Structure 1
C-alpha cells in the first residue's frame, strides 16, 4: 500500500463507525462504473445459459439449495 493509502486508511480508522461506512460506500461507488464490454459479456452469458436451460441441457436449482450449499461450505471453513 502506498504511503498516501496508508495515511488515508489510518485517518479513516479514527472516524466513528457510521462515517467509516460512508467512506467505504463512496469508495465502492467509485469502483462501480459502467463497462459496456463487460455488460455485453454478461448479457451473452445469460442468454447462453437461458438457451441451454430451454434446450434441457442444464436444470434450474432452487435458491434455498444454493444458499444451503454455501452455508454448509462456510461452516466447514
Structure 2
C-alpha cells in the first residue's frame, strides 16, 4: 500500500525533483546519520571501485537530464 498516494499523481519530472529535494534534506542532516559496519564497508568498496575506474558511470545531472527528456 502506498503511504503517499498523491505522489503517483505527480509527473515523472516532479517525482524526480521531489526525490532530489528529499535527498538534499537527508544530506544536510548527514552528521546525524550513523552507519553499520556493513554499510561502511559497502561504501568503502564502492569508493574503491570508482577510484579504480573513474571513467565508468555518468554524472547525476546527466542521468536526470536524460530521464526528464524522455518524459
User: Above 0.5 in TM-score?
Assistant: no
Larger Rg: 1
TMscore range, shorter length: 0.3 to 0.5
Higher relative contact order (CA 8 A, sep 6+): 2
- Please give the TM-score of this superposition, normalised by the length of structure 2: 0.38
- Please give the TM-score of this superposition, normalised by the length of structure 1: 0.36
